[in-house]
């Protein structure tokens, strides 16, 4: 396990202290998370509040957004925790309290796409593609090897290299892709360091957690 549980405790305290509704979703809400699962949350608030939420846990090493669907912030921290953060306008009748870790039902959430555009660090294609390294690795390390391989081959397509990533050559292939990509498209130093410490990239780190 990375530090997802630590992060979830952080957002629960943040929600209560700031009286902002935050809903935990995805595999952590369902109880199906693996040691490398990302954390899905929906949070209300204005730009200043959302910025405090993001940076209150630590300085992100990567901060961008999804394009399909559009507007979910992708926040990756130095400890390896990835958060998919949906900023919404309000929760409506969300029940008691401010942090919701249970299924609060079919709540109509209106995504605030203005805020996310103000918070992303970069929006160029190489930066967006660089996110796929972390996404591929956490899927692969979570046991979703086919998904991890498929995402890695999206990087292959972007680089227009003849490499083909398979389950059998994934670990060596993802290292080679990272070398090729970072040589042509220099990455943020802290983000690249995180990737190179992850099991699957560091040859002798299989089975170890990120420090």
Q: Report the percent of the chain where pLDDT is more than 90.
A: 58
The pLDDT score that the predictor gives to residue 208 is 37
The pLDDT score that the predictor gives to residue 35 is 87
Q: Does residue 209 contact residue 2 with C-beta atoms inside 8 Å?
A: yes
Strand ranges (E), the chain:
22-25, 39-44, 60-67, 70-77, 82-88, 99-100
Q: Is 40 helix (H, G, I), strand (E, B) or coil?
A: strand
Per-residue pLDDT of the chain (211 residues; tens, 9 = 90+): 468 999 999 999 999 999 999 999 888 888 889 889 999 999 988 889 999 999 999 999 999 988 777 778 999 999 999 999 999 877 665 567 899 887 655 556 677 878 877 888 888 999 999 999 999 999 999 899 999 999 999 999 999 998 899 999 999 999 999 999 999 999 999 999 999 999 878 765 443 333 3
Q: Is 63 left (phi over 0), alpha (psi -120 to 50) or beta?
A: beta
- Residue-range domain boundaries for the chain: 4-119, 125-197
CATH of 4-119 given 3.30.460.10, 2.60.120.640, 3.10.450.50, 3.20.20.140: 3.30.460.10
The pLDDT score that the predictor gives to residue 166 is 95
The pLDDT score that the predictor gives to residue 38 is 92
| Cα(34)–Cα(78) distance, integer angstroms | 19
For 69-79, what is each residue's pLDDT tens digit? 777 899 999 99
């Amino acid at each position: 396990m990375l530090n997802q549980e630590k992060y979830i405790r952080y957002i629960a305290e943040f929600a209560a202290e700031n009286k902002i509704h935050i809903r935990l979703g995805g595999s952590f809400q369902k109880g199906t998370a693996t040691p490398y699962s990302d954390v899905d949350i929906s949070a209300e608030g204005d730009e200043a509040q959302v910025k405090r939420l993001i940076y209150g846990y630590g300085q992100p090493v990567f901060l961008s957004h999804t394009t399909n669907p559009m507007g979910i912030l992708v926040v990756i921290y130095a400890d390896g925790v990835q958060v998919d953060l949906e900023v919404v306008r309000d929760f409506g009748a969300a029940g008691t309290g401010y942090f919701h870790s249970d299924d609060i039902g079919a709540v109509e959430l209106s995504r605030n796409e203005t805020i996310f555009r103000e918070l992303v660090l970069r929006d160029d294609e190489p930066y967006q593609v660089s996110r796929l390294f972390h996404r591929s690795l956490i899927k692969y390390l979570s046991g979703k090897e086919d998904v991890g391989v498929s995402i890695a081959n999206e990087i292959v397509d972007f680089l227009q290299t003849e490499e083909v990533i398979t389950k059998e050559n994934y670990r060596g292939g993802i290292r080679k892709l990272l070398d090729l990509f970072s040589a042509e498209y220099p990455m943020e130093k802290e983000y690249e360091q995180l990737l190179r410490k992850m099991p699957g990239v560091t040859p002798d780190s299989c089975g170890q957690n990120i420090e």
